[in-house]
Structure 1
């Protein structure tokens, strides 16, 4: 019977065969312990000299790290390991020997590991992070499908930009100028006018020369857009979505969270609703905490966001930012034209903004004025202006950054660990 490691629980006391790689090993004179992986999970194989042929025991002792092989043996319960099962090995059939594998069990520098990212992904820690990333993706589809959203795929090559072109990658589209998308939002607004509630999930690009632990050049965004939704309605969707993601990870990735040493008691508190604080009150809070450098009208940096988040046990919405620091498509607050109807969701523990969202302008005259005010090319945005011209309605949307969310839930220090092959300011390899 050929199985995978994650099926071991269903084959206790049965003899099975699994295709694996050797992650690590240790041995004494009479027993060899093989740390094996097959892509689904990690499991220990125990080779007892007295219970196997001499050739098999010597093979177990001499195999090198990342050698691939078929291993045959009996699945047994193992209460000492987090996985809960191990194999009493009876046979080994080598598929391909690996020699001089560069990533050994010793400590390696970050740059070395990033240069070998194609191999680093095989490690226990990286495997756990990618499994949690996958669960967040799976749960995202479950949540939005359950809530009646339609998935729409916006283009990656665009002729205009939702937030200006200063941080976009420029390319030639035959004889025209084009850009790699920094957001699918404008296209999702068009889709919302056709389908009501939509979401996209795809790669986005920012030509931002930043080296912080929160930034990537290429990253993935989940961007829902909802017709007939005001800001307060959108905030409710956002907090329910994030709470659903956290619960899904807690329910389905307990082993991975334990492997990463993540404090799950913190995550267990992430139940909706989440607290809300206006930008104006957030500035007051920061000044009370000794941040005398921040003035009303300035955007928050990472230290400011962390200080605000530290005042709450859950993610916190910062709402009603100054009009001057937000994009053109955000409408003014009817009660205070100096601020716009928007919110950022700040994660706890110093992980910063994981969601940015707002209502969108649906009044044609206001939209035209704002496009002019921002110095944007009206012709380039003519299709977007059509949305306000032909039966627009109040609508809202948001974008959740997948990698920042993975970093928060896994406790990863840097977002470079939360995407399979990160693109950073000075890294395009591998």
Structure 2
């Protein structure tokens, strides 16, 4: 009877049993009569020990000739090993080589430049570090969906091709759409607003596109964004929801991704401090004053740049909301602040440790006349927004929402310097392949 095929992840449940694992060899060392084969299968990593006298000469010789990333099927007995990261190793009784590369694997043990690794991103994803990052990415996505599902939010997918501008026109990818002008979506928010009028609590989640020619470590031209929208939530309700989501996300990663965080050498105390109290809240006006005191030349009316966000977040040990930006610095759909008509009811959530903005949100302008006036002053094509204005014509209502960037959130939680590592196939102004 053939040994059952199991995953490396499940090996600790099969100690002293004969099993088969199927995967790839990512490293090897030999000491004459023993081969130590490091095997991965997508679920984990394990060492397979092949003793010359316990296998056929042909199999031992075949293992000796294996290159990195050879695909193999290995049968053997699972043994407990407290020294192993997984707590087990495999004593080999049989090996089947499915494919042995004909030359050396391009990504070796030596250090490689970032451009080389990105050119070989399809192979770089196989590394332990990248697997750890992608595992945390998946956990964050799962946490977001679970958080919203448990609060009765309905997923409503928004279109990627759109005729309406959600943010500034300078950041649009324009398309020829048969005989019309169209754009890659910058946000699903406008559509989420329509869905909130139908279903109350909704969210969309998918790729978004920004054509800004930015070269900073925080920017991608294609990234993923979660965008909840809630009927009858005001500005404060909106921030409370954001804080609960971020706290839950950090809690889930700390609970379920200990090994991955350790592999990334992530210092955990800054993440744990996120859970120790409420997030900080500061008005835009006070933030400008504080930044001026700290040496920034920012003036009222300017949006916070990356350097300003870094300076500001270094003053706090937990995320901080910057509330009520000037109208001119923010999008047309944001609600005028009744207590300060130069500003709007919005907030950016800045992550600590200098990571800057991860969420942008606002209460939406529900007054048809005010919204129309703002759109006209911004020079928007009103014909493209007839459907959006209908939301204010037929049962207008207080509502709020936000967008949280997946990649920026991952970079912060993982403690990574550059955002390009946290998405499987990064797109920047200079990179379209692989």
TM-score, normalised with respect to structure 1: 0.97
Greater shift, 201-210 or 82-91, is seen at 82-91
Which digits, 9 at most, give the CA deviation of each residue in 1:216-248, with x for residues without a partner?
Answer: 011100000000000110111101111111111
Indicate if the aligned counterparts of 2:313 and 2:355 stay in contact, CA closer than 8 A: no
1:228 corresponds in structure 2 to: 232
Is residue 280 from structure 1 mapped to residue 288 from structure 2 by the alignment? no
Q: Distance in 1 between matches of 2:346 and 2:266?
A: 32
Computed over aligned residues only, the root mean square deviation of the Cα atoms, in angstroms, reads 1.2
Q: Distance in 2 between matches of 1:241 and 1:98?
A: 46
1:301 corresponds in structure 2 to: 305
Q: CA deviation at 1:116?
A: 0.8
1:416 corresponds in structure 2 to: 420
1:121 corresponds in structure 2 to: 125
1:400 corresponds in structure 2 to: 404
Q: Distance in 2 between matches of 1:54 and 1:258?
A: 40
1:342 to 329, 343, 346: 346
Indicate if the aligned counterparts of 2:309 and 2:350 stay in contact, CA closer than 8 A: yes
Q: CA deviation at 1:164?
A: 3.2
Q: Distance in 2 between matches of 1:167 and 1:46?
A: 55
Q: Distance in 2 between matches of 1:342 and 1:76?
A: 57
Q: Distance in 2 between matches of 1:350 and 1:76?
A: 45
Matches within 5 A, 1:24-423: 24-100=27-103, 101-271=105-275, 273-291=278-296, 293-423=297-427
Indicate if the aligned counterparts of 2:79 and 2:88 stay in contact, CA closer than 8 A: yes
Indicate if the aligned counterparts of 1:76 and 1:87 stay in contact, CA closer than 8 A: yes
Q: CA deviation at 1:15?
A: 1.1
Q: Distance in 2 between matches of 1:415 and 1:422?
A: 9
Uncovered stretches (5+) of structure 2, i.e. residues with no partner: none
Q: CA deviation at 1:50?
A: 4.0
Indicate if the aligned counterparts of 1:82 and 1:255 stay in contact, CA closer than 8 A: no
Q: CA deviation at 1:273?
A: 2.4
Greater shift, 303-312 or 352-361, is seen at 303-312
Indicate if the aligned counterparts of 1:306 and 1:351 stay in contact, CA closer than 8 A: yes
TM-score, normalised with respect to structure 2: 0.96
1:20 corresponds in structure 2 to: 23
Q: CA deviation at 1:172?
A: 1.3
Q: Distance in 2 between matches of 1:190 and 1:414?
A: 35
Q: Distance in 2 between matches of 1:15 and 1:41?
A: 18
Local SS of the residue matching 2:195: helix
Greater shift, 397-406 or 294-303, is seen at 294-303
Q: CA deviation at 1:254?
A: 1.2
Indicate if the aligned counterparts of 1:239 and 1:274 stay in contact, CA closer than 8 A: yes
Greater shift, 45-54 or 309-318, is seen at 45-54
Indicate if the aligned counterparts of 1:46 and 1:87 stay in contact, CA closer than 8 A: yes
Uncovered stretches (5+) of structure 1, i.e. residues with no partner: none
Which digits, 9 at most, give the CA deviation of each residue in 1:248-302, with x for residues without a partner?
Answer: 11111111111111112221222252111111111121122222x1112211111
Local SS of the residue matching 1:268: helix
Greater shift, 355-364 or 84-93, is seen at 84-93
Q: CA deviation at 1:44?
A: 1.5
Indicate if the aligned counterparts of 2:35 and 2:51 stay in contact, CA closer than 8 A: yes
2:5 corresponds in structure 1 to: 2
